[in-house]
Amino acid sequence: MKKVIAVAGLVLVLAFTALTACAEQSYTVSFQSNGGTEIATQLVEAGGVASEPKEPERDGFEFSGWYTQEEFGEEYLYDFTEPVTENITLYAGWTSDPVATFYWNYDGAPEFYSKVIFKDGGRIVAPADPDRGDGYSFDGWYADEDCTVMFDPAANYSGSRSFYAKWTKQPVATYTFEAEGCDLTGLTSFGYSVNVSETDMILGSSNALPENVKSSLSNGYFIGYFQTKNEDGLTLKFPIDADKASTGNRISLRLGTEYGTLTISPEEMDVKVNGTALDYEPITVIGENLTSVTQYKGYTVPFNDYTLSSTFDLKAGENLIELTIKVNDLGFADEPMLSSVGPGVDCIKVRSESALTWESMWEDNKLSAGLE
């Protein structure tokens, strides 16, 4: 009889332990709306994700997102795709400034991708390009869900705005070719008072740049001093091999600027593929709002991708993509030494159905420049 009682007791202990373990497999996600409409607490299984609730409302304020801290810094913005591993409290962020909301814009997507607070009547800095990871490529931000009016990073916006991602289903891949991997032999540019040649044109992690600029570089380095006084221009060459011929290829340039916002067209910079110049629409490389060389601050705005409007063909085998900056008047009218300038070039990205490769000179250039 004692054995039966002992066994029964053991079963009860095990059952209680199992129930306790099950109870410990769930966590609460609480929402502190900070003056907005109340949001219900959620019970989430360990390793699961919280459901992004409907945005709370508060008179006179714009909702800017849910944050893990009561401070509303972007670094504390909660990611609803992260697994829940403990009880958490999320805090509603509010601002009296307008908010730009960027939406994923596809069926089954989270409520929104990112929110950006901006000054009324000012420019909006778009978030990093989203990635669905399901065979669709991101084709830019648009002001309408049907993606007919493209977002303009150089425009001034008033009032809160909504922008929508455009997605294209394509059997393509994007290939990145670093500018610092080009053959820089014989290239000479100029700075404010000195000439700059070959691998001395490589800037990046080893230079005194703001962290937001360094973190935006795809390989930690870029080609600076991409400017010329030579009527023949200054050219970066990207020799690329393709496994097959393809049409409808696109190129994005990852660029930055130390000379203020630059609007660049084929008149200022040629982009050639196998000797044929692309007739692309002007691109606006976002930088500081400068009107004089006395306001110069260096590189302060992160590098961004700028997709050219023109498509092009690639042939099977060897291809050559060239970026040539020409003599121009993009610089400062009050400083002749810097009247003709150009952007910093981080890399080019080619989207193609061809498989693309190249022989990068980065290791040799890194050694020559004395970089780690």
Q: Is the pLDDT of residue 16 over 90?
A: no
> pTM for this structure?
0.58
Cα dihedral angle (84, 85, 90, 93), rounded to 10 degrees? -70
Strand-pairing partners, residue 283, are 264
What is residue 216's DSSP assignment? T
Question: What is the percent of the chain with per-residue pLDDT over 90, rounded to a whole number?
Answer: 64
Question: With 70 as the cut, is the pLDDT of residue 320 above it?
Answer: yes
Residues 191-231 pLDDT 10s: 777 789 999 999 998 888 999 999 999 999 999 999 998 88
State how far Cα 319 lies from the chain centre: 27
List strand residue ranges (DSSP E) for 12-135, in order. 26-32, 42-45, 62-67, 88-95, 99-103, 114-117
CA distances from 241 to 144, 199, 238, 323 (A): 38, 24, 10, 17
Could you tell me which residue, 343 or 9, shows the higher pLDDT?
A: 343
Q: 21 pLDDT exceeds 70?
A: no
d(CA 290, CA 331): 10
Q: For 39-68, what is each residue's pLDDT tens digit? A: 999 999 999 999 999 889 988 888 888 999
Please tell me the predicted confidence (pLDDT) of residue 291: 81
Report which of 203, 188, 172, 183 is spatially closest to residue 361, judged by C-alpha positions: 183
CA distance 285 to 304: 8
- pLDDT band at residue 19, thresholds of 50, 70 and 90? very low
Q: Above pLDDT 70, what percent of the chain? A: 92
Query: What pLDDT was estimated at residue 134?
Result: 67
Query: What's residue 135's pLDDT?
Result: 62
Domains of the chain in start order, with CATH, are: 26-169 (2.60.40.4270), 174-369 (2.60.120.260)
- Whether the CB-CB separation of 215 and 256 falls below 8 Å is answered with no
